[in-house]
Amino acid sequence: MRASAIRPSGMERTFAPDEIIVTKTDLQGRITYANDVFVRVSAYPEQELLGQPHNIIRHPDMPRCVFALLWEEIRQGGEIFAYVLNLARDGAHYWVLAHVTPSRDAAGRTIAYHSNRRVPGRDAVREIQALYASLVAEERRHARPADAIAASTALLDKTLKERGMTYDEFVWSLAGEDVTR
């Protein structure tokens, strides 16, 4: 079942602070591994997840520009931490603090991607929700996806510049409570 066919129910799901969601994908973002926490929280049977694009869990209220930033960073060989709103198969949503990294072979070539996700702190979610709502509103003003991403990226860049921060610094400013647990 494609995420676009799932309607958000407004019900929030969470997971324990000591649990970690883990997934691995190929270079195209297709899921090659999903741990039991991901299977449970996403409400998808494992066999429906494997081989599917990771965006199977994309929530419509998640800004596309954040995913564009994520893919740009990991395709260049870097890692990224990001707050992400996901959509479960049953319409529930769940927030994560994601850490996405390239997986490399012995020669240092990127061969896949790996993501660990923790449950974020409520204060961080409240702050990121406000920012993401403004980014999504900007995206919805544009019919073409490329225009939507460009516009929300510009808004994100402006917002971060006003705060005197990079995206990483912004995430870490919110993540203090999340990484000390």
Nearest CA to 116 out of 50, 33, 174, 176 is that of 33
pLDDT (tens, 9 = 90+) of the chain, 181 residues, equals 555 589 999 999 999 999 999 999 999 999 999 999 999 999 999 999 999 999 999 999 999 999 999 999 999 999 999 999 999 999 999 999 999 999 999 999 999 999 999 999 999 999 999 999 999 999 999 999 999 999 999 999 999 999 999 999 999 999 875 554 4
Say if strands 31-34 and 80-87 run parallel, antiparallel, or are unpaired. unpaired
Question: Which residues lie below 8 Å from residue 73, measured CB to CB, with a gap of 6+?
Answer: 79, 80, 100
Report DSSP letters for 134-148, one per residue.
HHHHHHTT-SSHHHH
pLDDT at 176: 72
C-alpha to C-alpha distance for 54 and 136, rounded to whole angstroms: 20
Say if strands 31-34 and 21-25 run parallel, antiparallel, or are unpaired. antiparallel
If one looks up domain 3-174 in CATH, what number appears?
3.30.450.20
Run of H or E residues at 7: none
Say what the pTM is. Answer: 0.91
pLDDT at 19: 97
